[in-house]
Chain A
Amino acid sequence: MARVVVRNLTKKFGNVTAVNRLTLDVRDGEFVVLLGPSGCGKTTTLRCIAGLEAPDEGEIYIGDKLVNELPPKDRNIAMVFQSYALYPHMKVYDNIAFPLKMRKYPKSEIDRRVREVARLLKIEELLDRKPKQLSGGQQQRVALGRALVREPDVFLMDEPLSNLDAKLRVYMRAELKRLQRELKVTTIYVTHDQVEAMTMADRIAVMNNGVLQQYAEASEIYSRPSTVFVAGFIGSPPMNFIECTLVEEQGEAYLDAGAFRYKLSEEQAKLVREKASSSELLLGVRPEHITLHLKPVEEGIKGRVYVVEPLGAELIVNVKIGESILKVKTPVHGELKVDQEVWVSFNRDRVYIFDKRTEESII
C-alpha cells in the first residue's frame, strides 16, 4: 500500500496535449476516480502512472519513490483493463498465477495465493476453464484476481465495468467498493460514468481537455462545482445554465436574463462585484433545486410547459422561459399539459453564478 503523487504531469502525442500539468495526491488506501469525457486525458494519466507511457514532463511518485524511469514491472502496481486483457491460451488458474510465476514465487506459494484469491472472488469452480468459456462478469473477476494476487501497492483500473451489462455493472460496482475497503489498497479508477464515480470514490478528480478541473469528495463536487464544466458534467439531468448580465438599479443588483430578472441578495451581489471579470455571467441551477408552481408565486418566473418526461416517481418538466428551456425535476404534479402556463422559483441557497469568460465559479 502506498501513496501516489503526480506532480505537473504533462504528456503530448504529436501536437495534442493529452495531459496538461496535472497534479494529484492520492492518499494511502484511498479510492480515487479520474472522471471526464472521452479524450480528456484520464486514461493517459493512468497509463503514465502504470509506466505504459513515458511522461514528457513532471514526476510520479509511488510511495516515496520517484518512478518516472522504472519499467511497469518494477512499480508494484496492478492494472485491470477495460477489455480485461486475459491471456486467452491460459486457463483461469494460470492467468491468475502468471504475475507470481514471472516473479518466480515457489509453486506452493503460488497455489495458495491463487486459491485464496479465487475464494475471495468466488471463482474457485472456474479455475480450470479458459477465458473464452467465461461470461463477461466472470472474466472481469479473473482480471481482478490477476491484479489482486500480487498484493500490489496500487490498483489501476481503466473503465473495468464498461463492458458489462447495466445490471451486472451496478452489482460489480458495490462489490469492487467493498473489496477495496476490505483490502485497503490505494486505487486509481478511470471512468466516464459520473454515477460510478459518485458512488465509489473517496475523492473524484474531474478532468477536461487534459486539465484537472476539480479534485474533491463527491458531495463537494456536486454541491460546490468549481467550474462550468464540472457543474455541467455532474448531475443528471445536468445543471441549467442561463446567460445573463449584471444590472444595478437603485442600489439593488439583478441578473438580467432577458425574459426575467433574478434579484441577488446583498451577499451574492458583493461576491459577484468582487470576483466577476465582467458583467457577463452564467446563472446555474440544478433541475432538482427548482420548484414548479401551477399558480403565480412571489419571485416566480412565468413560463410554459415545453415537454414532460416522466421518470416514474418523478417528472422532468422542460419549461420554456423566453427563448431558453429549463429542466425542472419535480414530484408528479397531476396533469401537466404542453403549453400550459407554469411558474418556477429557484432554491436561493442552491443557485450558482459563474463568470462567463473564465468559466470559473463565483458563488
Chain B
Amino acid sequence: MYLPTINNTRNYRANRMEKPLDHSLMPPCQAACPLHMEIGEYVDLVAQGKIMEALQVIRNDNPFPSICAYVCNRPCEDACQRSQVDKPVPIRALKRFAVEFGGDRMIQAKAETTHSERVAIVGSGPAGLAVAYYLRQLGYPVTIFEADSEPGGMLRVCIPEYRLPQKIIDVEIQRLTQMGVEIRTNTRVVSLDLVFDMGYKAIFVTIGAHQSRRLGIEGEDSPGVVDAIAFLREVNLGLKPSVGERVVVVGGGNVAIDAARTALRLDAREVNLVCLESRHEMPAFESDIQAAVDEGIILNCSWGPRVIAGDGKLTGIEFVQCTSVFDTEGRFSPSFDDSIKTSFAADTVIIAIGQVPRVPEDFHLRIGRGSTIQVDPVTLTTNRAGVFAGGDAVTGPATVVEALVSGKLAASRIDDYLQHRYPRVDKEARERLTGDLLPKTIEMIRKTGRPEPPSLSPEARVKDFKPVELVYDWEDAINEARSCLRCGMGAEILSQDKCATCLTCLRACPYHVPYLDDSGTIQIPPEQCQACGICVAQCPATAIVLRKPYDRRHITEELDHILKSAAESKSKPLIVGFCCQYGLFGTGTLAGLWREAKAGIWIVPVLCVAKVETDHILRAFEMGAEGVFIAGCGEQCARENTASWVRQRVEKVRKVLAQIGLEPERLQTLVPDTNGDPAEEVDKFVEQIGVFYLASVIMQEVKR
C-alpha cells in the first residue's frame, strides 16, 4: 500500500508565512485570577471528563487547590464572558469537582534538598504555606514558625468550618510535611535577630492581620462585647462560646458575615448585622451576603454605632443614621445624622470593623500605612537585609488567593536573593483578550440554565458547621464545563496573503463573527469567536487556523496514532470512528467502545465533530479502514447545527467513495436522539461493514 508522507509541500509560502506559535489570547478569567491559572484549560478537560488531567493543570499553578476550591472569592467568575450570555461558568465549583473527583488528597508531593541555605517563615497562613511549598520545590530547607497551636493562620482560626473544613487544611499541611517542611507550632518569634542567629539565611515574615480595630465608643470594654477574630478563633479551636439569644454584629465585611453566620450556628436565635455602608457598598462578597440573608441574618445598613449600653452586664447597642460613608474623593469619612437613632437589645456584640497587622517592635521592620510592613513591591524586601514580607501583614486584610500569589512571588524572590541574582520581572507572555460580546453573537450562543452548585438548604445549614456548598455530580459538572465559551482560543487567519476573501467564513460562521473591514479584508475578532472550528474546516484556501497549536493538530495526531496502533494489531475489518469527546457522550455513551476495544473499532476522540475535515475521513479510508463513522453528541451539543456541517462533508466524501467503487454506506453519521441508541447503531454499522468486507474479500479471490 502507498504510504503518504505528511504534506509539507502544500500551502504556498507556508514555510515563511506560518506562525507556529501559540496565538491564543489570555481569557478574561485567567487575567482576573491573581494566580493566572489556566482556567480555560482545566474547564475544557472537565468538559471532556478528563478529571485527573484537569487536576494536573490546576496543580501546576496552584499549590493548594483544595483550599481555593472552598474559599476562593472567584474573581474569575466576575470576569467570565459567559455572564454576558446567561451566567458565568461556575469555575470554583468545577475546581471543587476536579479536586474531589480527581483525588487531590491522594496526591503525594516530593521535594529534594539541593541548597544548603535554610529559610525561616514566620507565620503559617496561606502566604507562609505557599512560600514554603515553592521554596521546598526549589530545594531549600524550610522551617515555619507558628505562634498558635495549629498551623494555618487565618485559614485555621478565622474561616469557619462550614466554609472550609479543617481537614482540608490538615491534608495540605501534611503534604508540606511530606515534602520536608519543618513546622514548629506554639513558637512565637519575638526577634528576627534570634532567627538569623539560628543559622537561617533568609526570613519571610507573614504574620497576617489579626489585630481587630476598635470602635472607640463608650462601653466597648463591657463584658459581652467581643472582637470577631477572637470570637471566630474560639469557635474554630473547638470551644463553643455561648453568645446568648440576641447577637449584634457590627461591620459589613467578610469577617462580619462569617461572625454572624457562626453565631447563628451557636445558640443565637436572632442575629442583627449592622454596618455603616449601604447595601450595595458593603465590602463583603455578594454571594456570602446572600447566603447570610438566606440563613436568616437581618441586615441593617447605614447605621453607625454610638454607645454600647449596659451596667456591668450588656443590654444593647445604639446607632445613629449614617448618611454617607465616603467623601467626594472616595475616602473613608463617614457622616452621620444624629437625629435618627435606633437601638438593638443584645446579649453579645461582635465587633468586626477590620483588622490590622501587629508587628512586634523587636522585628525592627519599617511600618507603613495601616500598620502594615513596608516592602519593595518588586523584590518584596523589607528594610532589613534578608528579611522579606508578604500576605496580609503587607497588604492589609486580603483574600486567600492573593496571599498565595504573594507567597509564590516571595519564593522566587528569596531564591533570587540567596542565589545572588537580579530579580527577574516576568513579562506577561500572552496578550489579554479584551472586549465584550456583541449582541448578535450573544443571540446565537446556545443558552443553558446553569444549575447553581448544590448547597445545603438554609434551614439545614444553621444547625451545625457542615460545609454549605456541596460538590456537583458528574453530569452537572460536565454540562456546566461545556458552557465555557473558549475565549481567546478561536480562529484566526493564518496569513491574510493566503486568504482569497471568498467570504466562506463569513457565510459559514454560526455566530456571525467574521466581517469585511473597510479595506476589504476579512477580520475575525478574537473576543467574539467561539472556537467552533467550522470556518477552519470550510475555508477553501485553508487560510484559517485555531489559535492554539494543539487544537490545530489534534485530530490529525489522534488519527495517525490510532492508524499506527491498528496497523500493528492487524485486526480486520478496521473501522474508524470520529467521536465527540465532550460531555457525557464522550465519557458515557461511547465509553464502552473505548474500553472493550470492540473488534476492529478504533476511536478518534475529537473535540466537536464540526472540526472533522473531509481529508481526515479520506485518510482513514486510504489507510485501509473498511468503514468510518462520525458520532456527534446530538442534543448535548453546545451549538445548534453542528450535525448539518458534518452531514455536508460526509455527503461530499460519499460521492467520491461511489466514484472510487466503494459503497457510500461505508461512511455514516451517528447522531444520538435522531438515530436512537448510538451504541446499537454502531453495532448495526459494524455488521454492515462486515458484509462489505466479506464481499470484497470474495471478489478479490474470484479475480485471482
Q: State yes or no: do A and B come from one complex.
A: no
